[in-house]
Structure 1
Amino acid sequence: MTSKAAGPAPPDRPTPPQRTMPVVNTVTAADITDSLKAGFSDFLARPIMSGFFGLFYAVFGFLLVWSLVWLGKIWMIIPAVVGFPLVAPFAAAGLYEMSRRLQAGEDFGWSEILTVMANQRKREMGWMAFVTLFVFWVWIYQVRLWVAIILQNASFSDFDGFLNTVFFTPQGWAFLAVGTCVGAFLSAVLFSVTVVAMPLLLDRDTDFVTAMLTSLRVVAESPVVMLGWAAIISVTMLLSLVPAFLGLVFTLPILGHTTWHLYQRAVQPEATADP
């Protein structure tokens, strides 16, 4: 009986390089103020291009409301308008790239910015868009649930009737109270996982889970200041919706540019991050 000689041992599989978690800084109120100033400066540097992204977002919001009226989904108008700002971080990707190039002193035009935005579909930004839209869907679904439970005996055939039911009846007050609590919780969750995740994904070659965890760590490191920033965003966005969404032409670009500069202060540069 012959035995087969043992062949050479297979080479060890190379261990894939492990990505280090970005190092986060403590964010102060001065960082918020300085980021707002820098964001406003970026807006003034390219007002037409910045305003384009705000206008696109505003037109989309107007068409959303018009579609709900056309479809007869009157009850969905308020939750859709209130939840609409939830997708703003994803819509501001082009603004982040503009701020990045302005900060680096690079010249750019429409083609450069739109190309970068189009290329995000090949990276992890698509997963973050899925997370954002999923939370928006959960918001709409839970509003529909509370309409069925709390306003089941109410009757409204138009938007004015719906407003009257919501704001001038005990059932409407209960609906507003529950919806506000649930909406605040969902907004806090989404804010915590996206506040720096979007610009981080645009700036570095990392995965969306790492980006979300980094965003959570930024909020956990400076909860009071970041809560204040969330309040500024919420109030500004909601006030911008009042004049037929037109306020978004100015506020969305400024907030988008500001978010980029806040990210720069909240997360240490990759070259100086600890291994």
Structure 2
Amino acid sequence: MSQGDHANELQTPRDQRHSGDLQIGDLRVALIAGWKDFVAAPRYGLFFGAIYALAGLALSYLLIARGEVSWLIPATAGFPLLAPFTAVGLYEVSRRRELDLPMTWPAILGAVRGRGDEQILSMGVIIFVAFGFWVIIAHLVFSIFLVEAGAGSESLAFLFTSLGITMLLVGSVIGAVIALVFFAITVFSLPMLVDKQTDFLTAIFTSLRVFRDNFWVLIAWAALIAVMLGAAMTLAFLGLLIVLPVLGHATWHLYRRALP
């Protein structure tokens, strides 16, 4: 299949649906297209996946080495919040495949600059601030339950007590709300900034609008991303070498179907 055929396949009619409407079947199509992009240009996917995996390993090692295990759980749980920014280069790979543009490292790595107006870098600041906010909130919840449990609760065995399980449930609910808001803001804003000359506020509001209009489909997409990234991280973060690029490319194609 030629690159042109590849692009046409992704833009096939969708049974007279209104432009921008998504269906559950679109998630499967996007994942298949994401896998094809990864296989067609694996060096880029493996590169960005390795950066993300190594960052996760370094963060975990640093916290364990400093004896700050209480920070490990919130940091690990919030780590997927950084994935959208890591995937910017992957969006550029998919864009170039669609348009039959040459693949070069300067072009792919330079995608973080967006259209030269630093809008993507501004989004990056928002992403890292959100990650820091999540870690602080999660650690606050952790600390409250540790005080309630008393001495000896710093060990991992505390997590298997009734109070520890309650703590994890409360933290998971709070984390899910934060992650969902963050997902709605970034899911299509970053691909849009790679694709178009626009400002990051316009991209954010566009992403929120599409999320609102396709709520249940994108909730399913968010859940699928969470499960796949979580499973990949359990393998000493090594699963991210494959999962991150496939999801990154797939998100680009879902963006294309939502905003053709």
Q: Does 1:92 align with 2:87?
A: yes
- TM-score scaled by structure 2? 0.88
Matched to 1:67, the amino acid is L
Q: Percent identity?
A: 39
Q: 2:221 aligns with which of 208, 215, 229?
A: 229
The SS at the match of 2:235 is coil
Q: 2:245 aligns with which of 248, 253, 256?
A: 253
Match in the other structure for 1:184 = 176
Between the aligned partners of 1:120 and 1:136, the Cα distance in structure 2 is 25
Cα distance change of structure 1 residues 119 and 199 upon mapping to structure 2, 3 Å threshold: closer
Matched to 1:250, the amino acid is I
Q: 2:105 aligns with which of 97, 106, 110?
A: 110
Deviation string for 1:32-68 (max 9, x for gaps)?
1111111100000011221111011100110000111
Q: Describe how 1:204-243 pairs up with structure 2 within 5 A.
A: 204-243=196-235
Gaps of 5+ in 1: 1-22, 269-275
Between the aligned partners of 2:257 and 2:113, the Cα distance in structure 1 is 27
Name which one, 1 or 2, has greater alpha-carbon Rg.
Answer: 1
Between the aligned partners of 1:120 and 1:141, the Cα distance in structure 2 is 33
Between the aligned partners of 2:64 and 2:19, the Cα distance in structure 1 is 45
The SS at the match of 1:43 is helix
Checking the alignment, whether the CA contact within 8 Å between 1:24 and 1:217 is kept in structure 2 is no
Match in the other structure for 2:10 = none
Q: Comparing both structures, which one devotes a greater share of its residues to helix? A: 2
Displacement of 1:162 in angstroms is: 2.9
Matched to 2:205, the amino acid is L
- TM-score scaled by structure 1? 0.83
- Structure 1 stretches of 4+ with a deviation exceeding 3 A read 118-122, 153-157
Q: 1:199 aligns with which of 191, 198, 203?
A: 191
Between the aligned partners of 1:86 and 1:239, the Cα distance in structure 2 is 15
Give the length in aligned residue pairs: 242
Checking the alignment, whether the CA contact within 8 Å between 1:194 and 1:215 is kept in structure 2 is yes
The SS at the match of 2:249 is helix
